[in-house]
Amino acid sequence: MAGPRRARRFQQVDVFTARAGGGNPLAVVLDSEGLDTATMQRIAAWTDVVETTFVLPPDSPEASYRLRIFTPSRELAFAGHPSVGTAHAVLQAGWALPRPLAGGGTGLIQECGAGLLPLRITGEGVAREIAVQAPPVALLSRHGGEDAALSALLGASLAEAGGAVIDGGRRWFVAELRDEAAVRGLHPDFAGIAALVAAHDAIGLTVFARTPSRDHDLVVRALMPVAGGYEDPASGAANAALAGYLHGSGQAAGLGDRYVVSQGREVGRDARLVLHHEAGRIWVGGPCCSVVTGTLQW
């Protein structure tokens, strides 16, 4: 017999956007004490958004809170947009207050499966941006721009650097195309992408292009061969890994230590992500917008 239900504070947040209906949706369950892993997984399947997070008191005295992250089918150790969106929800609810961070600025310390991660807060109100420090990135292999099979899969010409396999907590195949039109006009062949990423034990394919003289510096699409094919409308993890790769391999010339990414227009979300490179580390963040605020009876 099921036990009594408890009212728990709940928010649904659009991450990497300042307006409702943009960015990447996230469900946040505050006051998650007493929920076991199986129940968290059931709630994540019920919310049916790409990720649901559960906020708990921290185990570490250094942390502002502890976070568990679930997709509808499994738990993740770290993900970018859930980290940024949960910090926004925690601040909105008064669950935790900003504190000085080592190295400067104010923010929060998130405890999660990937360890203790700082989140930096800048600005106020609708101008507030939250950024999480991403895990380090490793370049695993390079694939030259003359890779005809990759170009044929994408139906577009590659930039000179071509493709690469990188690991920033999750493994991605990344490929630079010659211009924004090629990225936006790409019609993903998810069967071909599935074969490509399986061969490299990657989670998905990130394609991107540089966009000089625009209000953003890169256009990015993150394509994953799950459930018949899924395009992430705003992936903090993919963009952080890509930023780490570009800076680490000397390909960030012209981008500088701060640049803006446009992602998600092809799936109707139009997100804006801000990437910072500081002292060899990558921060990924942007604005957030609370869309639903209430209680979850579970």
Q: How far is it, in rounded angstroms, from Cα 245 to Cα 247?
A: 6
Q: Cβ distance 64 to 99 under 8 Å? A: yes
Long-range pairs of 273-279 with CB within 8 A, sequence gap ≥ 24: 273/16, 273/234, 273/236, 273/239, 274/129, 274/131, 275/239, 275/240, 275/243, 276/131, 277/243, 277/247, 277/252, 279/103
Whether 51 is catalytic: yes
The single residue of 51, 111, 176, 231 carrying the catalytic annotation is: 51
Q: How far is it, in rounded angstroms, from Cα 134 to Cα 283?
A: 6
Q: How far is it, in rounded angstroms, from Cα 136 to Cα 278?
A: 12
φ, ψ dihedrals at 219, nearest 5°: -115, 135
Q: How far is it, in rounded angstroms, from Cα 172 to Cα 232?
A: 13
Residues β-bridged to residue 160:
none
Residues involved in catalysis: 51
